[in-house]
Amino acid sequence: MKNVLGAKCMICSKFFEDFEYVCPEHQSEHEPEHEFDYKNEGILDIKYDYNLIKKTFTKQKLANNKDKSIWRYTPLLPINENSPVPNLFVGNTPLYSLNKLADKFNVKNLYLKDDSRLPTASFKDRASAIALVKAWEKKADVITAASTGNAGAALSGLCASSGKENVIFVPASAPQAKVAQLLMFGSKVMLVNGTYDDAFDLCLKAAQEYGWYNRNTGFNPYMSEGKKTCSFEICEQLKWKVPDKIFVSVGDGCIIGGIYKGLKDLFKMGWIDHIPKLIGIQAEKSSYMYQAWKNNENIITKPFVKAETLADSISAGLPRDRIKALKAVKNTKGEFITVSDKEILRAIPDLAKQTGVFAEPAGAATWAGFLKAVKQNILSFDESIVIINTGSGLKDINNAMKSVELTNMKYNKVEPSIDKFRKMMAS
């Protein structure tokens, strides 16, 4: 990979030409099983040689590329040009222009980037696709991940498409549809009797002991690099006219960090003229990042918070990619917004009815956050806004049905008789 110079630790700024996961300087400072384990916190940021990349990679060249998948951006990805990529198609999700809603909410432009359209129906396919290529490059036989559900499902499906063995750790409470995906794709499934944070720690230990390639968020530095392809697509779809704000839901913080990384890449390539403000949406009941940002806390030492939102994909007591997430919001002068579980449940049908896009709770959280931003008057009429839906509503029907209850949605029970139907219609 001539395009990659190396990686830099987000904590100590040490630069490595050779690296695997987190910064080794931070790996052994604390006893394992310590009440709060800091040893895996030195997340790395991949550094590119933009001057070299610019020589052969241009907007024109990109425009001429018929491959619409994320692999059209390979010169800006940390993989070898000729490494095999998974068979499933990843990328090119639609960016819908919501003109009527822009008028309704008094903003200049409103767009919905629908990443529920990725092959396993969540944003996580972008990252898992890179994990598969890296595992191939490193000649690893088995890949593993801990996940609230979607990262696992993404890895699982992409592995199935490439015939790769994989082991997925999810909390036993993960939505059934996500567990079903894992089982259908033939993963070895570990339902962990505990939280996502417990599953994460167990997965790290198991990977180390059995020598598996580890896709874990906030640990494997390449995941932000896959996630950044969403920014590439948004900017390309907008013909390089960047929006003013992008709304992203935040759990571990890898997506928002990746979105920021993609924008920075494009800025350094000279393809966009400024970087939009990033608005991170968290659930009130899992709001580590919001609290840290609002109170200016030290996120290296800030301990776990309780995380118990029904939006399982953004439930994270200790956001694993919090350093990158906080930078993304601070450096772009964006902000964090929290939304309650009720607001999330109301946002699911609200978004679906107005756009035709059915989101899982974590995906609809961005819509709830947008509505809150409108209410709080923090948006202006001359702003272009992009909202990202990160996951499909079909992944969590239980919560969708809770929103049916909460919003008193009515449906009709009818006998299969046109006479009775007429009576019902007349009443």
Ligand X SMILES: *Cc1c(COP(=O)(O)O)cnc(C)c1O
Q: Minimum distance between the CB of residue 202 and Zn ion, rounded to whole angstroms?
A: 24
- What DSSP designation does 300 have? T
Q: Which is nearer to ligand X, 75 or 134 (CB)?
A: 134
Give me the DSSP letters along 130-181: HHHHHHHHTT-SEEEEE-SSHHHHHHHHHHHHHT-EEEEEEETTS-HHHHHH
Residues that bind ligand X (rule: CB under 6 A) add up to a total of: 19
Q: Are 295 and 262 in contact (CB under 8 A)?
A: no
Q: Which is nearer to ligand X, 313 or 355 (CB)?
A: 313
Q: Name which of 315, 312, 404 is nearest 360 in CA terms.
A: 312
Binding mask 246-265 for ligand X (x = CB under 6 A): ---xxxxxxx----------
Q: Minimum distance between the CB of residue 251 and ligand X, rounded to whole angstroms?
A: 3
Query: Rg of the chain over CA atoms, in angstroms?
Result: 21
Q: Which is nearer to ligand X, 48 or 196 (CB)?
A: 196
Residue 384 sits in the site that holds ligand X (CB under 6 A): no
Residue 122 sits in the site that holds ligand X (CB under 6 A): yes
Among 362, 385, 386, 400, binds ligand X (CB under 6 A): 362
Residue 114 sits in the site that holds ligand X (CB under 6 A): no
Which of the ranges 179-187, 245-253, 333-341, 378-386 carries the binding residues for ligand X, by CB under 6 A? 245-253
Q: Minimum distance between the CB of residue 113 and ligand X, rounded to whole angstroms?
A: 12
State the Cα–Cα distance between residues 101 and 115, nearest whole angstrom: 20
Residues that bind Zn ion (rule: CB under 5 A) add up to a total of: 7
Binding mask 202-231 for ligand X (x = CB under 6 A): ---------------x--------------
Residue 42 sits in the site that holds Zn ion (CB under 5 A): yes
Q: Minimum distance between the CB of residue 332 and Zn ion, rounded to whole angstroms?
A: 24
Which of the ranges 9-17, 128-136, 166-174, 239-247 carries the binding residues for Zn ion, by CB under 5 A? 9-17
Q: Which is nearer to ligand X, 150 or 287 (CB)?
A: 150
Which of the ranges 12-20, 113-121, 210-218, 362-370 carries the binding residues for Zn ion, by CB under 5 A? 12-20
Residue 12 sits in the site that holds Zn ion (CB under 5 A): yes
Binding mask 311-340 for ligand X (x = CB under 6 A): --xx--------------------------
Burial of 142 (0-12, 13-18, 19+ CB in 10 A): middle
| Ramachandran quadrant class, 139 (left: phi over 0; alpha: psi -120 to 50; beta: rest) | left
Residue 91 sits in the site that holds Zn ion (CB under 5 A): no
Cα-flanking dihedrals φ and ψ of residue 71, to 5°? -75, -5
Q: Name which of 112, 110, 119 is nearest 87 in CA terms.
A: 119
Q: Minimum distance between the CB of residue 26 and Zn ion, rounded to whole angstroms?
A: 5
- Tell me how far the alpha carbon of residue 74 is from its chain's centroid: 20
23 binds, options Zn ion, ligand X, none, Cβ within 5 to 8 A by partner type: Zn ion
Q: Are 262 and 232 in contact (CB under 8 A)?
A: yes
Spatial CB neighbours of 402, under 8 Å, sequence gap ≥ 6: 310, 345
Residue 162 sits in the site that holds ligand X (CB under 6 A): no
Give me the DSSP letters along 27-92: SSSS-TT-SS--TT---EEEEE-HHHHHHH--HHHHHH----SGGGGGGGSSS-TTS---SS----
Q: What residues pair up with 335 in beta bridges, in sequence order? A: 279
- Using DSSP, state whether 272 is helix, strand or coil: coil
250 binds, options Zn ion, ligand X, none, Cβ within 5 to 8 A by partner type: ligand X
Residue 150 sits in the site that holds ligand X (CB under 6 A): yes
345-379 burial, b at 16+ Cβ within 10 Å, e below that, comes to bbbbbbbbeebebbbbbbbbbbbbbbbbbeeeeeb
Residue 23 sits in the site that holds Zn ion (CB under 5 A): yes
Residues that bind Zn ion (CB under 5 A): 9, 11-12, 14, 23, 25, 42
Residues that bind ligand X (CB under 6 A): 122-124, 150, 217, 249-255, 313-314, 360, 362-363, 390-391
